[in-house]
Amino acid sequence: MHPSPTETPLLLDVTGLKKHFPIKKGVLRRVVGHVRAVDGMDFYLRDGETLGVVGESGCGKTTAGRCVIGLLEPTDGQVRFRMNGEMRDTTVLPFRERKQFSRHVQMIFQDPFSSLSPRMNVRAIVTEPLKVHRIGTPQERTERAADVLATVKLDRRVMERYPNEFSGGQRQRIAVARSLVFNPELIICDEAVSALDVSVQAQVINLLIDLRAELDLTYLFIAHDLSVVEHISHRVLVMYLGKAVETAGKRDIFQTPKHPYTAALLSAIPAADPQRERSRIHLEGSVPDPSQPPPGCSFHPRCEYAETRCREIEPMLEPVDGESDRWVACHRAAELTLEGYSRERR
């Protein structure tokens, strides 16, 4: 099921990604500091792979996704994407190729109530991207819309209806259909199922998994719900305060986490299993202010394993010995044995 890591070509390769937002104060709107929303991130995606990005609110996961698709211009770093067989830095593409890139990468947002215009009918919503890119005649666009609606299991008759006539799950299907009109290679799902009720959420998760197989899609799946991420992803990246702290195949991450923050996240997952054995790691305090990240490891003020070097030297994301595709940013990763997610019952 997991695409073989060595043979499958890279589709996306992000290196040193940074996005800092200026904080402006006073009548002169002078810049008094920066919110380091994303502060040095490296990750990659291979064809057909789903990378789940998890982290708590404000950790920069949405900002990272927006930098990848180009909705935000990175402060620093490279976002390289494979176009016509060649890895190209998308942050410096000429206009024409930039347009081509935007057809390869699409995004699905969290809230289908605000991501679909209430004044446009489904036909207009789904054909708009084609219109913007001046592809096809109106008839051809309508046919294409009917095709993608069929792909998400909606009847073509819905085209004359408006978003308010649909339930949350159906709206999210329309949003998925819109993202498919260009036959994209990469879809960024930013909390794409978080706003849905659980029974409907399962329908959309299944749809995304089916489409991945049918259309050879690659997903960057950004979400805060670890169970959903575990279900849909091949690999998982854990973010904390603008940085990737750990990335590995999902089995590895959930069974043998290497970073103390990952272990704390796993221990906090509420289980629909009343008799499950619980051993909760209590994190002290809250996430630091991203405009003034602490020195050294940004997790050290809340980490029970922190020692002197953690307070002084920032750990880099480094490969874990003997394991491919497994990276962690922790000075003590090698010596710590952390508990993974346990399904044991009392």
Only segment of 14-22, 106-114, 203-211, 212-220 that touches another protein (CB under 8 A): 203-211
Only segment of 44-52, 114-122, 131-139, 277-285 that touches another protein (CB under 8 A): 277-285
Look at residues 93, 72, 325, 301 and name the one whose alpha carbon lies nearest to residue 188.
Answer: 72
Q: Treating both helix axes as pointing N-terminal to C-terminal, what angle do 168-180 and 138-151 enclose, rounded to 10 degrees?
A: 130
Q: How far is the CB of 255 from another protein (least distance, A)?
A: 8
Please state whether 191 falls in left (phi above 0), alpha (psi between -120 and 50) or beta: left
Contact 68, 79 (CB under 8 A): yes
In terms of CB distance, is 115 or 267 closer to another protein? 267
Look-up of token digits 């089916």: 210
Look-up of token digits 């057909």: 48
**Is residue 154 a contact point for another protein (CB under 8 A)?**
no
Among 10, 83, 205, 306, binds another protein (CB under 8 A): 205
CA atoms within 13 A of residue 20's CA, in its CB half-sphere:
17
Among 269, 313, 316, 334, binds another protein (CB under 8 A): 269
**Is residue 230 a contact point for another protein (CB under 8 A)?**
yes
Q: 304: which DSSP letter?
A: T
The terminus-to-terminus CA distance of the chain in angstroms comes to 33
Among 200, 293, 306, 314, binds another protein (CB under 8 A): 200
Tokens of 172: 């999210």
Among 199, 279, 322, 335, binds another protein (CB under 8 A): 199
| Cα(126)–Cα(140) distance, integer angstroms | 12
What residues from 278 to 297 belong to the interface with another protein (CB under 8 A)?
278, 280, 282-283, 285-286
Paired sense of beta strands 76-83 and 86-89, if any: antiparallel
Among 133, 156, 224, 311, binds another protein (CB under 8 A): 224
| Cα(162)–Cα(204) distance, integer angstroms | 20
Among 102, 106, 201, 298, binds another protein (CB under 8 A): 201
**Is residue 213 a contact point for another protein (CB under 8 A)?**
no
Opening angle at CA 210, ends 46 and 138, nearest 5: 95
| Cα(303)–Cα(287) distance, integer angstroms | 12
**Is residue 111 a contact point for another protein (CB under 8 A)?**
no
Only segment of 10-18, 24-32, 182-190, 270-278 that touches another protein (CB under 8 A): 270-278
Only segment of 18-26, 40-48, 70-78, 228-236 that touches another protein (CB under 8 A): 228-236
Opening angle at CA 53, ends 46 and 244, nearest 5: 95
Contact 103, 144 (CB under 8 A): no
Q: Treating both helix axes as pointing N-terminal to C-terminal, what angle do 122-132 and 168-180 enclose, rounded to 10 degrees?
A: 20
What residues from 52 to 81 belong to the interface with another protein (CB under 8 A)?
56-57
3-state secondary structure of 162: coil
In terms of CB distance, is 189 or 226 closer to another protein? 226
| Cα(62)–Cα(42) distance, integer angstroms | 15
Q: How far is the CB of 145 from another protein (least distance, A)?
A: 22
Q: How far is the CB of 102 from another protein (least distance, A)?
A: 31
Among 34, 231, 309, 311, binds another protein (CB under 8 A): 231
**Is residue 274 a contact point for another protein (CB under 8 A)?**
yes
Only segment of 26-34, 140-148, 165-173, 293-301 that touches another protein (CB under 8 A): 165-173
Interface residues toward another protein, by CB under 8 A: 1, 56-57, 167, 169-170, 197-203, 205-206, 209, 224, 226-228, 230-232, 254, 264-265, 267-276, 278, 280, 282-283, 285-286, 341, 343
